[in-house]
Amino acid sequence: MFSVGIIIPSWHYWANPSKIQPMYELHFATVIDSHFSKTKDVKVSIIDLRGIRSDQQIYHIPEHDAYFYWIPKTGDYKGMVKVAGQIKLHYPKAKHAAGGTHIDIFREDCANDFDAIVIGPGEESFISIIKDCRKGSLKKIYKADYADIPYGGYPFMRRHYLPDTAIVNNLLFEKYGADIRSTCVLFSRGCCFKCKFCVYNVPSIIQMKSPAMIENEIKYLKEEYSVQAINLKDEICIPISRDTAIPFMEAIGRGGVMWRGQTTVVGITEEKMALAKKSGCIELAVGVESVSQKVLDIIDKKITVEQIKHFIKLCKEHGIKCKMCLIFGLPGEPENIVDLTRAFVEEVKPDYVSLSGLDPVPGSDIYRNHKRYGIKHIDENWEKHAHLLYRFSDSEEVGLPFEYEKDTSWGKAFSREDIIENIRRMQQYLRDQKMTY
């Protein structure tokens, strides 16, 4: 029997790393199990390092023939390399393979840290790695194209790899009831937009599970875990195309659970919003990023301030709570960004606001072409890089591992200290309004 351990990173940058569930680790475990289900000669486990001090992690890692790491966030990279190093000392025969966006971007460096790296999607590559490990012919690079590996072509993720407490909690919907059993799902992956600060748009097309799969997954979650509510981790939870959105939401509706998710204002119509409500949607988080049209244009958000207002209005009309997601520190911010944002919040009255600081995260256009955005310096300590920090608590890492030039193409830019101060002022205001969570 060949054994594989898939490592969940510590997610050290979050106030409560156990609140959300590890979607990709569960997905890859399911994919591997499903592939070897006939031969039954591969055993896959998930090793959960969340909340475990780095000097204690090795005592929570049993021996396996191979360890897999999926690293979409640069902030996890250094920690994962340390974990792999510890494992190599304790279990020197094991092989280590890593994939994810960070590996896609820094493939040469990463190839030095792992026995094999995965470029592109992991499904078929991880299967090949297992086969090659057993034959003793492991290669350095395994490469595939997202266009050939549809997310919907694989079974929905099973959750039995982790204890029930790591799968279901009552935190995700705490605003809506004290004890709502909830969990995260990922019905699609990828995003078709190209916002300049983002690296979550991998792949650059949206790959969806079928409506039947979605219905079956919800049924499974209800039967096995008594789940009452689901948190969609999809980048765009209401598909842009009407023809996709309608059967998608109807499938969720047949599941008979409450749901929330994040989406864009693009393509939202009265009809879609009504169906979202009917299918159990109670809250939509929306990537507004900035209330300054100039900033929206610089980051190529492809939305207008008027569209944002319309979206929030539709939410209100249909009884769906709206959480507006903002980023401070984006290029092009006017000097009065705090007052401007406050005035916008007072005008449109979203139910909740989530505010984070910009990270010019490796892989994003802002990182690649930072001079073009007036950025003088980006900190290359990877541990400081994670997209969307500082949202939930002052104890979360502040982020902002960069500095603007004093004068930029849009005028005077904020210093790092200015941006932190703007975030603190705005966070305090939002807390006073009871708009944060």
Q: Which residues bind ligand SF4 (CB under 6 A)?
A: 191, 193-195, 198, 200-201, 235, 264, 287
Q: Closest CB to ligand SF4 among 31 and 361?
A: 361
Q: Closest CB to ligand SF4 among 83 and 265?
A: 265
Cβ of residue 435: shortest distance to ligand SF4, in angstroms? 21
Q: Closest CB to ligand SF4 among 264 and 422?
A: 264
Q: Closest CB to ligand SF4 among 75 and 287?
A: 287
- HEC string for the chain: CEEEEEEECCCCCCCCCCCCCCHHHHHHHHHHHHHCCCCCCEEEEEEECCCCCHHHHHHHCCCCCEEEEECCCHHHHHHHHHHHHHHHHHCCCCEEEEECHHHHHCHHHHHHHCCEEEECCCHHHHHHHHHHHHHCCCCCEEECCHHHCCHHHCCCCCCCCCCHHHHCECCCCHHHCCCCCEEEECCEECCCCCCCCCCCCCCCCCEECCHHHHHHHHHHHHHHHCCCEEEECCCCCCCCCHHHHHHHHHHHHHHCCEEEEEECCCCCCHHHHHHHHHCCEEEEEEEEECCCHHHHHHCCCCCCHHHHHHHHHHHHHCCCEEEEEEEECCCCCCCCHHHHHHHHHHHHCCCEEEEEECCCCCCCHHHHCHHHHCEEEECCCHHHCCCCECCCCCCCCCCCCEEECCEECCEECCCHHHHHHHHHHHHHHHHHCCCCC
Cβ of residue 292: shortest distance to ligand SF4, in angstroms? 16
Cβ of residue 264: shortest distance to ligand SF4, in angstroms? 5
Q: Closest CB to ligand SF4 among 33 and 234?
A: 234
Q: Closest CB to ligand SF4 among 129 and 199?
A: 199
Cβ of residue 281: shortest distance to ligand SF4, in angstroms? 18
Cβ of residue 316: shortest distance to ligand SF4, in angstroms? 22
Q: Closest CB to ligand SF4 among 199 and 315?
A: 199
Cβ of residue 197: shortest distance to ligand SF4, in angstroms? 7
Q: Closest CB to ligand SF4 among 221 and 315?
A: 315
